[in-house]
Amino acid sequence: MKPSSGAGVVLIFLLLAFNVQVLAEVSPDRQAALRHLLKQDCGSCHGMTLKGGLGPALTKNEIMHKPKQLLLTTILDGRRGTPMPPFRGLLTEEEVNWLVELLYQGDI
Ligand code: HEC
């Protein structure tokens, strides 16, 4: 074993722990609010069931091949020159992360 591999394992462990921590940071109340927002606000453009409208479908099948980072920055910063608005300021990065996970799992 190379001397550095121990540190690698620790790093992976920390990253995993951090990831879980980030997801856990969204309180149950806030999670309910985010689900509501997804239907009401995002749904006004992406469709109530997120199958598409003015904006593209956000169903699991449609987004599972897109990088999470792209979805994250799209939601946080919007897409200039398109109707997709930025949600930075309204939602924290942790909350947007949580939303992206929800979309990835198709749990909507
Ligand atoms: C005013 C209309 C509108 C609202 C509200 C809106 N979107 Fe969008 N959204 C769009 C449009 C239009 C696009 C496509 C932009 C483009 O042409 O690249 C888009 C793109 C996206 C994408 C990228 C999809 C892809 O296939 O690349 C994601 C993810 C997304 N929206 C999520 C959300 C979420 C989550 C919300 C609510 C928090 C939301 N949107 C609210 C109109 C909207």
CATH code: domain of residue 38: 1.10.760.10
Side-chain half-sphere CA neighbours of 105 within 13 A: 8
Is the Cβ–Cβ distance between 96 and 87 less than 8 Å? yes
Residue 36 to residue 43: CA distance in whole angstroms: 9
Residue 14 inside a domain? The answer is: no
- Residue 89: its pLDDT value, please? 96
Q: Using a 6 Å CB cutoff, which residues line ligand 1? A: 37, 41-42, 44-46, 54-56, 58, 66, 71, 74-75, 79, 82-85, 87, 99
Report the nearest-CA residue for atom 12 of ligand 1: 55
- Quote the domain boundaries for residue 94: 27-105
Token representation of residue 72: 């994250």
Report the chain's mean pLDDT, rounded to a whole number: 88
Q: Is residue 32 a part of any domain in this protein?
A: yes
Using the predicted structure, report yes or no on whether residue 13 has a pLDDT greater than 80: no
The total number of structural domains that make up the chain: 1
pLDDT above 70 for 24: no
What distances in angstroms separate CA 9 from CA 6, 17, 18, 19, 90, one per listed residue? 5, 12, 14, 15, 36
Domain assignment present for 3 = no
User: Which of 77, 84, 96 to mutate for ligand 1's pocket (most ligand atoms within 8 Å of CB)?
Assistant: 84
Tell me, yes or no, whether 79 lies in a domain: yes
- The total of other beta-carbon atoms located within 10 Å of residue 75's CB is 24
Does residue 13 sit within a domain? no
pLDDT in tens, 60-80: 999 999 999 999 999 999 999
Is 7 domain-assigned? no
Quote the pLDDT of residue 1: 60
Angstrom distance (rounded) from CA 41 to CA 6: 46
Asked, for residue 64, whether it belongs to a domain, the answer is: yes
